[in-house]
Structure 1
Amino acid sequence: GTTGQPKPGRLSHFNVVNNANLVGRFVGYHRQRESICLNAELVFGFGRTIGVLAVTIFGSTIVLPGPNFSPKTTLEAISRHRCTVAYGPSTVFFDVLRELEKGDYDVSSIRKAIMGGTLTNPAIVEKARTRMNARSLYIVYGGGETSPVITCTNPDEPTDRWIRTVGKPLDHVEVCIHRSLVTFSEG
């Protein structure tokens, strides 16, 4: 993972900018300027590449709610700045959704959400879509060593099809499975 000891991953300017461009196009930033509420640390690829860089490439607005994460501050920023996209790991969305139930926040401007960094619980996805109005919800997977996004889910597909997958590889990304998949039983 990217939160452990530093690894000698080699990122180039090209692959970081290209990844930001590809993710931005995949989520539709080239069609319309957005106002993004960014709840991701800028030292990690999620905040740096698909947060700041992708947003900047397409001329959108970045809203940084505060110096530290706070669900209340996040919801106040979304309301005040009329953010159209919410970013963050699913744990952030969990806390934001819990705070949303307590207070009276206007999140009607939200149209999209991008989650990454951790596995995503289908219940959180559904609540983000209904309570936060994030009709288009993208889940990205990858790591700091990969600029960071490798795959992304497509919210235009039926939910039951993409909710339990890692999505499809971005353009210019090749994926190879080196060993057979292990199937775990539920229960």
Structure 2
Amino acid sequence: MTGDARRVMEWLDTKESKSVVYVSFGSAGCMPPAQVMQLGMALASCRWPVVWVVKDADSMPDDVKKWFRESFDSNKCLVVRGWAPQVAILAHRAVGGFLTHCVTKPTENVLSAGKLNGSRADVEAEVGMEQVMKALERLMDLGDEGEQRRRKTQELKAKGNGALEKGGSSYMNLEKLIQSLVS
């Protein structure tokens, strides 16, 4: 395990079960600085501990880098610049929610806007801090709706794991693929 991976796992070990929001937008695209700031303001002010993976943190403008350094209490929000051990993070007992990208059009716009315009610095944020806060509240909801969502997630996780086990659909399809390549 790398030093950064170990640091993340040790940080998670200090948190209560299902209390942490894991935020990662993967390698799907680069968020413009204005959008990073809106997301960051929501994460810095939310009531849950956060692990936030920021893929392109080092390529942000200097004022955004400075804002990162000054805005986050490392006990409440751990900012990881670059790669993080996503599978291990998601499997950790402390993680109670995962905020990530999806394939809907607004998110595609948010993640690709900087690429379309050539310069990411002049791109406005499409999703504001308030919208992110509402999404976090819904994600981490401890009421009946949140409990139903967590139960459904566990069912899907069990199905996914079953597909990977010997005799499962993914396992069998991989075996078929291998056999077709070696035959």
TM-based fold match above 0.5: no
Greater Rg by CA: 2
Normalising to structure 1: TM-score of the pair? 0.29
Q: Which structure has the higher relative contact order (CA within 8 Å, separation 6+)?
A: 2
Q: Higher helix share goes to which structure?
A: 2
